[in-house]
Amino acid sequence: MSSLATALASCDMLLIDGLHAFDFTCDANGLTVECMDGRQHRRWSFTPEQVAAAVASGDEWQLADAQGEHRLICMSALRAPDEDDEEPDLDEPADR
């Protein structure tokens, strides 16, 4: 069974309580997540013990802190292809 810390190590985006977060750190000090919710800056902090106690349910993790329960989904961000791959080859004639 995988742990939340393992899942966090292989993702680059989180969905926490329905909000997308790219700014997060998971290390020996625990998990810190930050994002903007409209104009409001949101921040969550979880201790290493809280991260270790997270319970998986499918793709979703249930994680608790002093404010209550939170839902967390680890995701991979979509990345645009390199620009070099998009440029036409100037040596080939253009299709008409």
Per domain, the residue ranges of the chain are 4-76
Backbone angles phi, psi at 93, to 5 degrees: -70, 145
Q: What's the CATH number for 4-76?
A: 2.30.29.190
Cα separation, 37 vs 46, whole angstroms: 19
Taking the complete model, does pTM exceed 0.85, yes or no?
no
Main-chain phi, psi angles of 11, to 5 degrees = -120, 160
**Each residue's pLDDT expressed in tens, for the chain with a length of 96 residues:** 469 999 998 899 999 999 999 999 999 999 999 999 889 999 999 999 999 999 999 889 999 998 899 999 999 866 666 555 555 555 555 555
pLDDT (0 to 100) of residue 10:
87
Please state, in angstroms and rounded to a whole number, the distance separating the CA atoms of residues 51 and 48.
5
Cβ neighbour number for residue 85 with a 10 Å cutoff: 7
* Cα–Cα distances in angstroms (integers) from residue 17 to residues 1, 22, 46, 72, 80, in the given order: 23, 14, 14, 7, 26
